Amino acid sequence: MACARCLLFATFLVSALALTPQQNATLEQYSKPCRDETGVTAQDIDTGLNGEDRIDDSKLKAHVLCVLKKIELINEDGDVDMEKLKKLAKLVAASEEEAESVVAKCALQKDTHEETAFRTISCLYEKWPQFSPVE
């Protein structure tokens, strides 16, 4: 995966500059217990932010899945809540059609729940760096 995606992905894991203070606080509320659960460290996340290619680290993918489950964007069966995701996408998309199109392209089932979560959020950040998985 390209380093630009590393930055976008890592931005999801920590506070993103484009997010409001409330969005950052909400993400941190979910991220902290997920870091504890998955064993991903703040250093691992910082490494991604600094451009080092750690994007395929299974702990990072498990962390993304954990956070997306906690914010109820993905259920226990690994299914993406398409309606909730579309609602969030509409906040940053140029149009409702664009939101629906990008979500349909990004939220595809992969071989594992971790891969589904990771690829979905990476795809959304690639399209909209200002995307937030929380309102």
The pLDDT tens digits for 71-102 are 999 999 999 999 999 999 999 999 999 999 99
Average pLDDT over residues 50-64: 70
Q: Do the Cβ atoms of 48 and 10 come closer than 8 Å?
A: yes
pTM (2 d.p.): 0.80
Q: Quick one: what percent of the chain has pLDDT higher than 70? A: 78
Mean pLDDT, the chain, as a whole number?
Answer: 81
Domains and CATH numbers, the chain: 3-127 (1.10.238.20)
Whether residue 16 is predicted with pLDDT greater than 50 in this model: the reply is: no
Q: Helix H segments across 15-81?
A: 21-38, 42-49, 58-70
Whether residue 10 is predicted with pLDDT greater than 60 in this model: the reply is: no
pLDDT band at 26; cut points 50, 70, 90: confident
User: When comparing pLDDT for 95 and 24, which is higher?
Assistant: 95
CA atoms within 13 A on the CB side of 13: 31
